[in-house]
Amino acid sequence: MSDVPATNQIFDWVNRFLGDVAEAAQEVDSGLSHAGFVSAYRNGCMWDGSTSIQGSNLWLPRYVLRVYVEPQHRAPGSSQRPPWCGFFAVHLRPTRQTVFSGPVASWGVVSQANLTQPVDIWKGAETVGIARRDPLFLSSPRVEKWQEVDAGLRPSEFELIEYMARPVSELRTANIVRSIVAEPLAARLQELIRICRSQIVPS
């Protein structure tokens, strides 16, 4: 067994860190809610966990994910098919340590290839690395201007994925999260919706 005092210190640090992540996510939630968006998965934010004694390697979360949609596009079940959405993710333990020295946050917008018959977004989000521990679409932990995911990496069901990113350590205060993440994300999602709606031909 590990030394008890050292274990206590580690546990307390992890608890404080996850509390900081929760506060950042709640600040993004607040900004997107103020702009008229809701969480697609209600209060859910963590996946790939385990409650079994054999699954101790999954007792800690690998990533935190929030997906934002217009209220009319939130489905009652787990399958979410919004034609467009925003996201905020914290990748807590990326596997590519040569690229990421620590946790990284990413946020962005997504539009589907078929706006009138959208599909469930989860598979595509997982494929590109939004909904997984390793953000495959990121080649750097710092992306300060909107960038598009290359067509070769973008899942075919998505027409557009734009994103920004920062090391989690830089999202230190509510004001920073609001100015760097929440406000730009809400504005970009509103602009994307305007563009997408203009492309839909009435039937």
Q: Which contacts qualify for 196-203: CB closer than 8 Å, 24 or more apart?
A: 196/83, 196/84, 196/111, 196/115, 199/115, 200/115, 200/116, 203/116
Residue written as token pair 């809400």? 186
CA gap 147, 126 in Å, rounded: 19
Write down the domain spans for the chain. Answer: 4-199
> What does the block give as tokens for 45?
């934010």
For every residue of 112-180, DSSP letters joined together read: ES-SSS---SHHHHHHHTTTSSS-TT-SSS-EEEEEEPPTTTS-TTEEEEEEEEEEGGG--SHHHHIII
Distance CA 123, CA 130 (A): 10
According to the 3-state scheme, what is the secondary structure of 27-81? HHHHHHHHCCCEECCCCCCECCCCCCHHHHHHCCCCEEEEEEECHHHCCCCCCCC
User: What's the pLDDT score for residue 203?
Assistant: 65
Q: Which tokens is 10 given? A: 């580690």
What pLDDT sits at residue 1? 57
Give the span between the Cα atoms of 196 and 158, in whole angstroms. Answer: 13
The pTM is what? 0.95
The pLDDT value recorded for residue 37 is 98
Task: Note the pLDDT tens digit of each residue in 134-157.
Answer: 999 999 999 999 999 999 999 999
- Cβ 86 vs Cβ 35: under 8 Å: no
pLDDT given at position 98: 83
pLDDT tens for the 203 residues of the chain, in order: 567 678 899 999 999 999 999 999 999 999 999 999 999 999 999 988 999 999 999 999 999 999 999 999 999 988 999 999 999 999 999 988 788 999 999 999 999 999 999 999 999 999 999 999 999 999 999 999 999 999 999 999 999 999 999 999 999 999 999 999 999 999 999 999 999 999 987 76
Distance CA 125, CA 183 (A): 22
